């Protein structure tokens, strides 16, 4: 008998394993199945399908046709009300717009917001950019510059008005999406190269008439951003829908190194220029802190920021690497002379975690000084506090 082929499922045994581990059956799907079954059985129209947020051509066309009829009413109401209804993302308090022409981001402190952005290439762009888009982040300086542009009163020409769900989508050119989190208030701002801008609260969008050239100004700043890792478009779509999950998606990389099997030496601002061996208890605590933190690898250009830092020197079975944790939440991991740069989530402040874990219980005069002027600082560290095995080997002849 010919064996049934299940697309995407390797074989019966594997299917059984995956089936065992499948998430529990939700009752609402059973109810929907029942409704469809009853409709088919009785020859009635099927119940409406749950709408995926992806825009489908026919549906988009239908919505666009309705939009023409509805937009006049909507615009009239917006002018009458002169301000927008508050549109709520669950758990967030959305400020009401007011009549100030500089209404965009009226109560949002953009400079201190957590900001991520995604550059889309729609229409004439290469398809792969839609398949594997990249979320990027800005430096604090660039974010401040962006905040200044977006909150400048002259940036905005007129009051906002509601935008039809599909009105802001371009079929060509470039589009940029910014995701902002200001103290729990989350919004999405879309800039289109034809000059359209819309701000999105949950499922509602608001059109923002802006001055000519704003797109280019914003694009010039965003071009300096650090690209994150590419991710499948479906993941991005899910992140957009499930907005609170976005930060988790961005920081879903495990720690670059594991301290579990490593000998560790630490140089911290609290004890510099001394170097500390790390006792087992502290090493385990530090390993837990690194593992619990959320990491994201970003482009490394060979330079590290100024300021205080903890430097962890690791020796794992003779392989020596370093992890530098900076006060601004960035971290640099170097192995085999190759540097990697990471940013860590503000939810898991790794610099503070290292600071709390690394303490020296002995007397300050017992601390081991490291030759900070040595040409090879890493070698100098291991020389100051050698590995236990090296120490044992050195002491053996003396014992004999």
Whichever of 52 and 112 has its CB closer to another protein, that residue is: 52
Whichever of 48 and 364 has its CB closer to another protein, that residue is: 48
Tell me which residues in 70-129 interact with another protein (CB under 8 A).
127
3-state secondary structure 201-224: ECCEEEECCECCCHHHHHHHHHCC
Residue-wise over 284-298: b if at least 16 C-beta within 10 A, else e?
Answer: ebbbebbeebbbbeb
Selected binder of another protein within 42, 45, 49, 73 (CB under 8 A): 49
Q: How far is the CB of 365 from another protein (least distance, A)?
A: 38
Selected binder of another protein within 40, 82, 107, 229 (CB under 8 A): 40
Does position 10 interact with another protein (CB under 8 A)? The reply is: yes
Angle at alpha carbon of residue 70, lines to 66 and 75, rounded to 5°: 145
Tell me which residues in 188-247 interact with another protein (CB under 8 A).
232, 234-235, 237-238, 241, 245
Q: How far is the CB of 339 from another protein (least distance, A)?
A: 22
Selected binder of another protein within 42, 45, 57, 323 (CB under 8 A): 57
Residue whose pair of structure tokens reads 């299940």 in the numeric block:
6
Whichever of 222 and 289 has its CB closer to another protein, that residue is: 289
Whichever of 107 and 248 has its CB closer to another protein, that residue is: 248
Q: Which of 207, 219, 211, 228 is nearest to 176 (CA)?
A: 219
Structure tokens at 104: 């965009």
Does position 172 interact with another protein (CB under 8 A)? The reply is: no
Q: Which of 261, 277, 265 is nearest to 317 (CA)?
A: 261
x/- track of binding to another protein for residues 277-316 (CB under 8 A): -----------x--xx-x----------------------
Whichever of 22 and 396 has its CB closer to another protein, that residue is: 22
Residue 138 and residue 146 in contact, taking contact as beta carbons nearer than 8 Å: yes
d(CA 222, CA 117): 8
Q: How far is the CB of 19 from another protein (least distance, A)?
A: 4
Angle at alpha carbon of residue 361, lines to 358 and 365, rounded to 5°: 110
Size of the site for another protein (CB under 8 A): 57
Q: How far is the CB of 246 from another protein (least distance, A)?
A: 10
Tell me which residues in 309-348 interact with another protein (CB under 8 A).
348
Tell me how crowded residue 202 is: count the other CB atoms within 10 A of its CB: 16
Q: How far is the CB of 130 from another protein (least distance, A)?
A: 8
What dihedral angle (degrees, nearest 10) is formed by the CA atoms of 186, 190, 133, 229? Answer: -40
Q: Which of 165, 189, 186 is nearest to 176 (CA)?
A: 189
Whichever of 120 and 142 has its CB closer to another protein, that residue is: 120
Residues 6+ positions from 396 with CB-CB distance below 8 Å: none
- List contacts with another protein (CB under 8 A): 4-11, 13-15, 17-26, 29-30, 32-34, 36-37, 40-41, 49-54, 56-57, 127, 232, 234-235, 237-238, 241, 245, 248-249, 252, 254-255, 258, 288, 291-292, 294, 348
């Amino acid at each position: 008998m010919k064996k049934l082929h299940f697309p995407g499922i390797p074989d019966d045994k594997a299917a059984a394993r995956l089936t065992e581990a499948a998430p529990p059956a939700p009752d609402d799907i059973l109810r929907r199945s029942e409704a469809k079954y009853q409709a088919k059985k009785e020859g009635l129209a099927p119940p409406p399908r749950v709408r995926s947020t992806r825009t489908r051509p026919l549906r988009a066309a239908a919505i666009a046709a309705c939009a023409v009829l509805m937009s006049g009413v909507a615009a009239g109401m917006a002018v009458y009300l002169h301000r927008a209804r508050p549109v709520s993302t669950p758990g967030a308090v959305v400020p009401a717009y007011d009549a100030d022409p500089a209404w965009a981001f009226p109560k949002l402190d953009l400079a201190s917001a957590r900001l991520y952005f995604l550059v889309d290439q729609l229409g004439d762009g290469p398809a792969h950019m839609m398949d594997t888009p990249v979320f990027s982040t800005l430096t604090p300086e660039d974010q401040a510059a962006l905040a200044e542009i977006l909150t400048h009163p002259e940036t905005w020409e007129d009051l906002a008005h509601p935008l039809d769900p599909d009105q802001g989508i371009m079929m060509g050119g470039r589009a940029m999406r910014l995701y902002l989190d200001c103290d729990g208030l989350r919004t999405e701002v879309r800039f289109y190269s034809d000059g359209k801008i819309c701000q999105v609260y949950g499922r509602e969008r608001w059109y923002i008439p802006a001055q000519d050239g704003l797109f280019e100004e914003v694009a010039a700043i965003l071009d300096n951003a650090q690209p994150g890792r590419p991710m499948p478009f479906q993941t991005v779509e899910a992140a957009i829908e499930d907005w609170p999950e976005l930060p988790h998606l961005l920081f879903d990389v495990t720690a670059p190194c594991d301290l579990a099997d490593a000998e560790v030496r630490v140089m911290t601002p609290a004890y510099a220029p001394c170097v500390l061996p790390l006792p087992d208890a502290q090493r385990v605590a530090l390993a837990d802190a690194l593992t619990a933190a959320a990491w994201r690898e970003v482009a490394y250009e060979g330079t590290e920021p100024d300021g205080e830092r903890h430097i962890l020197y690791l020796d794992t079975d003779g392989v020596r690497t370093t992890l530098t944790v900076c006060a601004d939440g960035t971290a640099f991991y170097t192995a085999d002379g190759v540097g990697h740069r990471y940013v860590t989530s503000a939810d898991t402040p790794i610099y503070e975690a290292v600071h709390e874990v690394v303490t020296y219980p002995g007397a300050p005069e017992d601390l081991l000084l490291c030759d900070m002027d040595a040409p090879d600082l890493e070698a100098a560290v291991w020389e100051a506090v050698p590995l236990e095995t090296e120490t044992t080997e050195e002491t053996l002849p003396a014992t004999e």
